[in-house]
Amino acid sequence: MTTWQIYQGSGSPHNGIVHLPEPPPWRRFDGVMPEQEPTPTLDPQTTRPLSALIRGQTFQASEEVIDCVNAALYLRRPLFVTGKPGTGKSSLAYAVAHELQLGSVLVWPITSRTTLQNGLYSYDAIGRFQEVIPGKDAPDIGRYIRLGPLGTAFLPSRRPRVLLIDEIDKSDIDLPNDLLHVFEEGGFDIPELTRLEQPHVEVFPYDSQHRVRIIHGRITCHAFPFVVITSNGERELSPPFLRRCLQLLMKEPDVKELTRIVHAHFAQLDSTRRQACEALVQQFITRRDQSEGNLATDQLLNAIYLIMQNVDLDQRGLREAVWRFLNTLEMP
């Protein structure tokens, strides 16, 4: 480890984020700090599902991954992560959030119908209209606005939130470029609020029932979020988008890395089961590397869990079912 690394890949929570230097001049944003930050940022342990906590604790980062994460933190740039399914692209976001104590991960899963608006906020105009009482003031508009994961990530806070934009290659062709304005400006406007005369409105963030104050309808970050954007490489993205991201290719783990992953998930292994697991790792590597089929690391973990329950993987083709190639059902 070198002294510049804030994220160390250790899996042990620490307060190193306080040592992150000031951003480059061209990546500084002037979001006004609230009097009190949202609860998920202040008390991360109470807002994480157990599965997310485990993903953060057990992720095994290579030196290349550690360097890219730290470069993204320093430069305040999104990290664009590519690689085969099951190489840990999404888990990286949970690992960074866990180690640097940045609260729960804001997850934005992408589909072909996803738009920028989906990520920023939603406004229930019909619900507000239905609660209008003749002769009285309209209901508080803030009660009908909820920020999306992207919008919540840009709320001003002392520490960056972690945002996972998952499988962006499944999106409409325009979405990646639509994101560029938000990333470059460090924020966005809510038109329904900017045209109001009142100076501030309180709205709901994505992951809390405690409303946050929006000034003049504008959200601008103070600490740029740590953004992980994953892709399975199903289509190419534009050069302007890629230029504004740091790019990381998650490689398939080798024998040594797979063994570390297994030990991280199954810490209490006796010598007999440890030998069986190491043999299974070798078999998994052989099957993965001697064919054109894709195998994910969690398929290895599934097999190891079964043998720890004294299940015979060779009975009735069970090994083939657990280690089925992901890209085809026809490969032997």
Task: Give the containing element (helix H, strand E) for 241.
Answer: helix 239-243
| 322 vs 249: CA distance, rounded Å | 26
What is the per-residue pLDDT for 14?
95
DSSP letter at 204 equals B
DSSP letter at 214 equals E
What is the per-residue pLDDT for 19?
95
What is the per-residue pLDDT for 48?
53
Both tokens of residue 154? Answer: 């840009």
Supply the mean pLDDT for the chain: 88
Task: Give the containing element (helix H, strand E) for 94.
Answer: helix 89-99
Which is it for the CA torsion 181, 183, 224, 48, positive or negative? positive
pLDDT tens digits, 115-157 = 999 999 999 988 888 888 777 777 889 999 999 999 999 999 9
pLDDT tens digits, 6-25 = 999 998 999 999 999 999 99
